[in-house]
Structure 1
Amino acid sequence: MTRDSNQTRRFSRRKFIAASGGLGVAGLAGCTQSNTGGGSTAESTDGSYGGSGDSTDDGSDGGSGSLSGDINIAGSSTVFPLATAMAERFQSQHEGVDVSLQSTGSGGGFANYFCSGQTDFNNASRPIQPEEEDQCANNDIEPVEVKVATDALTVIVNNDNDWIGEGLTVEQLRELWSAESQPETWADVNADWPDEPLELYGPSEASGTFDYFIEAILGEEGPSHRQDYSPTEQDRTIIQGVNGSEYAMGYLGFAYYSENQDTVQAVPVENDEGNYVEPSLDTALSGEYNPLSRPLFTYPKVSALQEDHIAEFARFWLENSTDRAIVADEVGYVPLSDEEQSTMLSRLEEAAGSN
């Protein structure tokens, strides 16, 4: 819905994720957007924060609010809550800047918005693909790859699921989600499991989470992803689906699981050393949670970075990308290291200085 510009609605980041659950779209600073993935609209938000999260760096104008202009962002539902947290903070310091955010999926954002010239940034939970680079190039758009955090892609099951035990192997996950094997019941994968129909929920083909799951679990040369599941770009729908059935399973970004730990349970996954590891910020940072930990990106376009308010927002995001209070405690991802931040800032400054 549209927010009355004379009213301010305040949400904490945790309440916002729990309420929206990735419903798809936040219209910030009075903008209303439609969710191409689910067809619904999400409430406009202005963040209200306390503690160390407030002591963040602002733009080069010293927070005077002299910057003005629009910033349009589409892309990954996984990156969406992090982008929202940064946009809300930036707008609170620069009232003349309007940030419009859409959760369309990584691929949907590239194909339908960014590479066609409609947005300034595309968020992505996997790297840009060659065909997307070609589409951008054909429209004279030059993307800049900027890593903003690390995620732990999370497999979830119902709280009443007590048969998986210590966890799942990559081979079992591959069989569960493969279009070739396509088991109909849990017992089709393991005879000791219930002879009950599988109910599967996950992101749509437009999602970078979908793409990364294929790469990490099914393999680029492996079987295709099964199609007889409930696909969505609304992460809340995945949570609700798994919560609603004892025999359900799904997968999504860690931030959405972390806000719903009482509602569903995360499945430990066997790593390359043969240990079953639960997803967490610590295991993603250490590398123990493999193969499902992954980098998260935003892609500004070079031409947009020539505008002061857009370049300052990109800098602001990166300057706060090492802030554990925002990235980890509030949103639920692993912050950048100081070295990663320095590298990304150098890349951004080089692009912002391009003509």
Structure 2
Amino acid sequence: MTMLTSFLDHLSTVPSPTPSVIRASNQSPGSGAPVWVTLLVGLAGALLASAGAFAGAWRSSRALRQNTERTLEHERTRLLNERFSTAAELLGHNEAACRLAGVHAMAGLADDWTERRQTCIDVLCAYLRMPYPRGPEEDTPADEDPNGQANREVRLTVIRTIRDHLLPATPPETTWSGYDLDFTGAVFDGGDFSNARFSGGKVRFTGATFSGGLVSFYKAAFSGGDVGFYGATFSGSEVLFRGATFSNDVVNFRGATFSSGSVNFRGATFSSGMVHFDRAAFSGGDVGFYGATLSSGKVSFYGAKFSSGTVNFDRAKFSSGTVNFDRAKFSGATVTFHTAQFDGGVVDIRDVASWSRPPSLDDGLVAAPPAGLLLPDRLPKPKP
């Protein structure tokens, strides 16, 4: 028993053998993970660090770019505002030469500043609306009225500048078609809008006065917009709408007064639109629709007063659409439809308010009116 106890005590003092560890070929010393895992983790960390650095650089670059763009835009706006102030000051200058420079400066600014183009156009239109006495007669020597001639030249330049931006050949990036033009109350003693394209936007000649000279809308096109000559006065000018085209829009001469001079729609075309002469007063001068073509749409003379002067529709072509004279008063003006052609259109003069001087029609039209000519049951004979 004593020997067994001694043997066991001896065994307990003998150290146990250390187990051998066989290191895998893909493990690194001092680590339990494979080498490829360690490399992958390191590579991912490097990539993340690079991505973070790139994102930071990109954000910094974007912030710098945005700041630069804001600075450039601010500088651009500042320079454009300075140009605007300079052009406005020139337009208000006492010297006509400076005002002419102001007209061109403002127009050039409108071309460069799309965001404020309407404002620049408004300033030029406002110049025409400013108080302006009747200009000198065309045959007045310049040395007898130098200031009047100079003022008139500036105004004609404004009109030409506006017209030049409405021509068909105007580049799209600088055209003023589609913008509003406000000539309310302006005085026109001349001006050239020939071949202008009034398409879109609002064009206002409300209460304007055409008091002398030639105002030309020769071959102008009114399409897709709203053009108003409400209450305009035609008293001495020769206003030319010869060859003009009225289509897909509304043109209003409501309440206009034609008291002297002439308004010529010779060869004009009225198609797919509405033209109002409602309650207009024809009290003198000559209004001519000679050879005009009504191919569709409507022309209304509701409540118009024909008391003096001449209104002629001679050789006009009514191929479709309607012309009506409801409640019109024929009391002295000479209104003629000689050799007019009625081929599908309608001219309605049945419901007039006064017949003291009825329109003058060819005998054949009175005896056997075509389908498109609607006459009252009893049409009095025209007075000589």
Shorter chain as denominator, the TM-score bin is under 0.3
In terms of fraction of residues, the more strand-rich structure is: 2
TM-score (norm 1): 0.21
Larger of the two Rg values belongs to structure: 2
Higher relative CO (Cα under 8 Å, sequence separation at least 6) belongs to: 1
